[in-house]
Amino acid sequence: TGGTGFAQNLRFTSRAQLPFGKSAGGGIAEITYYLQAADDGYLQLRRADNPYPFPDFEKKGSDPVLCKYIKSLSLRFYDADGNEFDTWDSDSDEFGFSTPTAIAVKLELAKNAEMHTFETTVPLPLIRERAE
């Protein structure tokens, strides 16, 4: 996950996924966004979409490319009190097995001398509250 450098991956489950390819969707799917180097040396953002039961994650050449020419991708996670974190693990006692309430995304694209920066913060409509 995130920080000021490169996010390794963002993995979550969803019942409202938009599957790629011939999959009909439905049920719960594990969605993983990840970076991978392309043959031209640039980074690409890819998406893996696996229905339940979830296999161990592995990068596949058949995973769709969502974005090319990535210079950097960083994620920031926010808890219910507005505290900011570089990483998040909802399966961890450190976070009380909760989900973040929002995720900030910063994406920088660069090809040759041209560079573009995109930023957004996404509030999560459903969260798992901190276990006490």
Encoded tokens for 69: 């020419």
pLDDT tens-digit map of 87-131: 999 999 999 999 999 999 999 999 989 999 999 999 998 899 998
At 93 the three-state DSSP class reads helix
Shortest CA distance to 121 belongs to which of 106, 109, 111? 106
| Amino acid 25: pLDDT | 58
pLDDT tens-digit map of 32-76: 999 999 988 889 999 998 888 888 888 888 899 999 999 999 999
The angle subtended at Cα 58 by Cα 97 and Cα 109, nearest 5°, is 85
| Amino acid 2: pLDDT | 40
Q: Which residues contact 23 (CB under 8 A, 6 or more apart)?
A: 49, 51
More confident residue, 16 or 35: 35
pTM (predicted TM-score) = 0.78
Query: What is the amino acid identity at position 121?
Result: T
Does an H or E element contain 35, and which? Answer: strand 29-37
Encoded tokens for 52: 């339940």
pLDDT tens-digit map of 21-43: 555 556 788 899 999 999 888 89
**88-97: b or e for each residue (b if 16 or more CB lie within 10 Å)?**
bebeeeebee
| Amino acid 89: pLDDT | 92
